[in-house]
Amino acid sequence: MRNLILFIVTVVITLLFLDVFLKGVKITPPILKYYQSEYGSLNRPNINYFKSTQGLYIGKTNYDGRFRESYPKRKRDKKTLRILLVGDSFVEGIDVFSRDHFAQYMEDTLRKVLNTDVEILNFGRGNCILHASSYYFINYLEKEYDADLVLYFTEFRDILPVASYPSTSYKLDEAGTNLVADFSWQKSAEYSLHCKLSSIPLLKYYEDIAVCRLGYRAWSGIQTRGFLQLTLGKFYGTMATPDYTYSKYDVPVSELSKKIYDSVMTYNKGQVVFVVRNLPVDATVVKEYFQEKHYPFIDLNEALDKEIIRGTNVNAYYFKATQSYGGHWNHAGHKSIGYFLARKVSDHIKEYNTPNYSHE
């Protein structure tokens, strides 16, 4: 019995020292996501975070889990132009420093061109596409935040009838006519395990334990990159160059996606402009639907020729530091997209319905 107690005490002390060490050297960043009962998976507020998968990000989330900035929910005055960015990890943009994010280039450019103060709020969430991001937008962002313009990023995955993301999303009712909330994420094995662990007093804050963070990141890496690629890295072999041949799928826009697009366009505090991303699948049918409905949209094909920045030979997806083709824009890609979107917004700002922004 004495040896057993000594063993347990030794293990506990070792784990405590290991936890302090891992947190002190910042090898393991905090777990980014947490579960909120109404909306599901959201970014944690007020945490220091770093990421080094493709590019490098070091920074923090703000009071509402956003990256890059910490603007308040309400505007100061009508002379300030406020833009909300809604979308997935391309909008979140944590493969580059905040100063290199496309929103920063937009802000700086629009301030000069429009001669006014500009606030761009980043509501991007990794892998969160239309079905889930729209629920959060309509039921939270629209009610809580002032905005003059919303740039809503969309792509081919958004037109499919089903999308899996651990957040409350929209689905059609049994009659197929109305949008209703889908809380099926609460039945997932991961959420069930989270609830069980959180209910145990000694493990209530397990997500703050460095060893748990390390285990979570290892499991996430295995799921996305595979065990051998994660553990052996460059010794596993060179990363294959992705095939950026444009694909065009003759898949119609689902009725669910149509109703979500229509609902987003009823936003009554400002103007919504969709931004269509086309790689690796050209979102032709999405653009055709917007044209049919006369919805304003910006086609990123005007800035990018597949993966190449137009007018250059620079690949917007290649990260020199890691010598890898990431799934996101690199520094040059963010810069190009930032200037492009700023030009589009400044050219058409007087056409937008922005009652709370003074153009003069």
Reading the chain (360 residues) residue by residue, the pLDDT tens digits are: 778 888 888 877 887 777 777 767 666 677 888 899 999 999 999 998 888 777 788 899 999 999 999 999 999 888 899 999 999 999 999 999 999 999 999 999 999 999 999 999 999 998 899 999 999 999 999 999 999 999 999 999 898 877 678 999 999 999 989 999 999 999 988 888 888 888 888 777 777 777 777 777 666 666 666 666 666 665 566 555 555 555 566 788 999 999 999 999 988 767 899 999 998 788 999 999 999 999 999 999 999 998 999 999 999 999 887 777 767 999 999 999 999 999 999 999 888 878 778 766
∠ CA 291-297-300, rounded to 5°: 115
Q: Given its phi and psi angles, is residue 88 left (phi above 0), alpha (psi -120 to 50 degrees) or beta?
A: beta
What does the pLDDT read at residue 9? Answer: 81
Amino acid at 141: L
Q: Using CA atoms of 193, 59, 118, 155 in order, give the dihedral in degrees to the nearest 10.
A: -50
Amino acid at 179: L
Distance, CA of 144 to CA of 148 (rounded, Å): 13
Alpha-helix residue ranges (DSSP H) falling in the chain: 2-25, 89-92, 102-114, 130-136, 142-144, 189-198, 210-225, 227-232, 255-264, 284-293, 331-348
What does the pLDDT read at residue 326? Answer: 67
Distance, CA of 147 to CA of 74 (rounded, Å): 8
Report all structural domains of the chain as residue ranges with CATH numbers, in order of start. 2-349 (3.40.50.1110)
CA distances in angstroms from 75 to 72, 264, 271, 300, listed in the order given: 7, 21, 16, 29
For the entire predicted model, the pTM comes to: 0.88
What does the pLDDT read at residue 226? Answer: 66
Q: Using CA atoms of 133, 276, 353, 351 in order, give the dihedral in degrees to the nearest 10.
A: 170
